[in-house]
């Protein structure tokens, strides 16, 4: 560690006990041993750090806001690279609706910056207050408006990645396979050029409650045919009851039109606040484990029915088939869920990533792709060992 | 609206508080964020980091479950363990000796530096 300490300004590195404890886990609460934390401010800092890691055989773990739920940023006898000082926001290319930002820029900060220009970045995960652009790219974030705007890989024009050999890559949209969703195993994303879009002129919401799951799914299909649909969120009866709402299958549909019944900004904000507090409130109610399967439309009825019969609280982005069933730690039904999702052609990780938590469930195709990327970008295994698969 | 001061002792460590914290905005290190302090507190660590909380409770306003950082309680633990900053020690000594936290002041003199924990 003394050699590493000598490579950086004292303000840019810490091996203090308090620092190492605070960085020993992310929002997954999966613990690991953090040896040190480095806050790079330049590409040269990154290259120096990577050179040290390659020479000494140490593992580097990139970290954004640490809001991941699968342990992707949990160190395992590793040095954590915190992107908190990579916060530069470039000027907006108004004609092209593009902007270049550093990886540590939090999403909400970016959108506050864009608001006076009537633009925004529309990929908005539930952790948008803190989530960084780099972390969102690393997990290929989807989120609350994915039914309209898709995943972040569709909004990254170019990303700058420094790989395990210390080589700088400017990967364009055509190279997406090497960037979005690889959870820091190929290197660290330090900068990205992002596409932006106009803030919608109109917005409205509708809340719908159903006793009958089949009837609700028919309404989902109907709502998805509306071209102005911008979010379609689901809350099952168990989740609704746990947070004090009517115990029904509930849909929150947002439109970029006046098709919804709730039009007042203050009322819509209150509804979104309630929806966005669900995750933490279910944790508080005793269901801390958040899963994120993506379920094909034809399997949604059987899966949601099974979850309701099991009494498992669920919410999620049903518009794109990603749901968040909540469990107690070690609940054996988590594995049963994985089997059901895999058997029905879905993905066990829709948007949280695989991290440490689900790595043993990675598909053969993912393992093959990850190995090929590792060989290309990080043959010495400098970055985020033991993650993803 | 006044903030309800009933304390919710549970932090789920989601990290949504980070950007609301004025101390984190300056330090940009996790241990100085509300979540970081909660992690340290839950690990039983007593550290001068707790003095860096401004007690503003901005984190509680944005916390999805209204977790209160209980900065006063964490500081009280430091006092009990006699863990003080040099500024604390100087302030207490000045109060005991001069009846004010600034030290010796001439008649009508306005203190040039304000020291706080």
Complete DSSP assignment for A325-366: EEE-TT-THHHHHHHHHHHTT-BSBSSS--TTTSGGG--HHH
pLDDT, tens digit, 9 for 90 and up, residues A48-83: 999 999 999 999 999 999 999 999 999 999 999 999
H/E segment holding residue A231: strand A229-235
Q: What is the CATH number of the domain that holds A170?
A: 3.30.465.10
- Tokens 């982005």 correspond to what residue? A317
pLDDT band at A316 (very low <50, low <70, confident <90, very high): very high
pLDDT value of residue B4: 42
Please indicate whether, in this complex, the C-beta atoms of B19 and A109 are within 8 angstroms of each other. yes
pLDDT over 80 at A173, yes or no:
no
pLDDT value of residue B101: 85
Q: Which residue of B has its CA nearest to A274?
A: B64
Tell me the domain boundaries of chain B.
Answer: 18-98
pLDDT, tens digit, 9 for 90 and up, residues A246-276: 999 999 999 999 999 999 999 999 999 888 8
Q: How far apart are CA A127 and CA A324, in angstroms?
A: 14
pLDDT over 60 at B2, yes or no:
no
Asked whether the beta carbons of B64 and A281 are under 8 A apart, the reply is yes
Confirm whether A62 is domain-assigned: yes
Which among A40, A42, A229, A53 has a CA at the least distance from the CA of A146?
A229
Confirm whether A124 is domain-assigned: yes
Range of the domain at A151: 85-199
Confirm whether A372 is domain-assigned: no
Which residues fall within 8 angstroms of residue A327, CB to CB, at 6 or more apart? Answer: A287, A289, A291, A312, A333, A334
pLDDT value of residue B116: 57
pLDDT, tens digit, 9 for 90 and up, residues B88-102: 888 889 999 988 888
Q: Which residue of B has its CA nearest to A107?
A: B19
pLDDT value of residue A176: 56
Boundary residue ending a domain (A163, A178, A199): A199
If asked whether residues A284 and A296 sit together in one domain, one would say yes
Q: Which of B8, B15, B49 comes nearest A65 by C-beta?
A: B15
pLDDT over 70 at B7, yes or no:
no
Residues of B with CB below 8 A from A324's CB? none
Q: Which of A17, A22, A129 comes nearest B30 by C-beta?
A: A22
Confirm whether A236 is domain-assigned: yes
If asked whether residues A144 and A185 sit together in one domain, one would say yes
If asked whether residues A327 and A223 sit together in one domain, one would say yes
pLDDT, tens digit, 9 for 90 and up, residues A342-356: 999 999 999 999 999
If asked whether residues A157 and A270 sit together in one domain, one would say no
pLDDT over 60 at B117, yes or no:
no
Q: Which of A23, A25, A281 comes nearest B64 by C-beta?
A: A281
pLDDT value of residue B70: 83
Q: How far apart are CA A251 and CA A222, in angstroms?
A: 12
If asked whether residues A78 and A89 sit together in one domain, one would say no
Residue A211 burial (CB count, 10 A): 11
Confirm whether A269 is domain-assigned: yes
Question: Quick one: tokens of A73?
Answer: 């940023």
């Amino acid at each position: 560690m003394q050699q590493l300490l000598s490579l950086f300004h004292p303000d840019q590195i810490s091996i203090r006990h308090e620092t190492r404890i605070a960085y020993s886990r992310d929002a997954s609460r999966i613990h690991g041993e953090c040896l040190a934390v480095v806050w790079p401010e330049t590409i040269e800092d990154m290259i120096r750090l990577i050179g040290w890691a390659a020479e000494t055989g140490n593992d580097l773990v990139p970290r954004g806001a640490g809001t991941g739920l699968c342990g992707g940023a949990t160190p395992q006898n590793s040095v954590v690279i915190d992107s908190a000082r990579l916060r530069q926001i470039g000027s907006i290319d108004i004609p092209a609706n593009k902007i270049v930002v550093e990886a540590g820029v939090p999403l909400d900060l970016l959108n506050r910056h864009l608001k006076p220009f009537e633009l925004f970045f529309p990929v908005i995960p539930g952790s948008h207050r803190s989530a960084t652009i780099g972390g969102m790219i690393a997990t290929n974030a989807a989120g609350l408006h994915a039914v309209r705007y898709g995943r972040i890989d569709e909004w990254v024009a170019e990303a700058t990645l420094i790989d395990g050999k210390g080589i700088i890559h400017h990967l364009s949209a055509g190279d997406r396979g090497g960037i979005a969703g690889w959870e820091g195993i190929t290197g660290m994303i330090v900068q990205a050029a992002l596409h932006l879009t106009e803030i919608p002129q109109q917005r409205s919401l509708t809340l719908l409650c159903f006793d009958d799951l089949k009837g609700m799914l028919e309404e989902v299909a109907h709502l998805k045919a509306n071209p102005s649909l911008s979010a379609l969120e689901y809350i099952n009866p168990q989740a609704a009851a746990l947070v004090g709402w009517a115990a029904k299958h509930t849909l929150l549909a947002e439109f970029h039109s006046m098709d919804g019944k709730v039009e007042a900004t203050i009322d819509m904000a209150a509804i979104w606040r309630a929806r966005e507090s669900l995750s933490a409130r279910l944790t508080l109610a005793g269901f801390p484990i958040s899963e994120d399967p993506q379920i094909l439309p034809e399997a949604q009825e059987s899966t949601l029915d099974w979850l309701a019969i099991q009494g498992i609280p669920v919410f999620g982005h049903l518009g794109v088939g990603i749901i968040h069933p909540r469990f107690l730690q070690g609940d054996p039904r988590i594995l049963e869920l994985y089997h059901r999702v895999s058997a029905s052609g879905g993905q066990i990780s829709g948007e949280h990533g695989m991290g440490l938590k689900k790595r043993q469930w990675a598909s053969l195709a993912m393992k093959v792709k990850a190995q090929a990327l590792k060989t290309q970008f990080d043959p010495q295994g400098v970055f985020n060992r033991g993650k993803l698969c | 609206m006044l903030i309800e001061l009933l304390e919710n002792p549970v932090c789920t460590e989601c990290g949504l508080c980070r950007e609301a914290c004025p101390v984190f905005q300056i330090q940009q290190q996790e241990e100085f964020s509300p979540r970081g302090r909660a992690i340290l507190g839950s690990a039983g660590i007593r550290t001068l980091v707790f003095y860096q909380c401004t007690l503003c409770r901005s984190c509680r306003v944005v916390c999805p479950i209204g977790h209160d950082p209980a900065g006063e309680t964490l500081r009280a633990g430091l006092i009990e363990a006699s863990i003080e900053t040099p500024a604390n020690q100087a302030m207490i000594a000045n109060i005991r000796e001069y009846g004010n936290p600034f030290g010796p002041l001439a008649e009508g003199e306005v203190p040039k530096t304000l020291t706080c924990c």
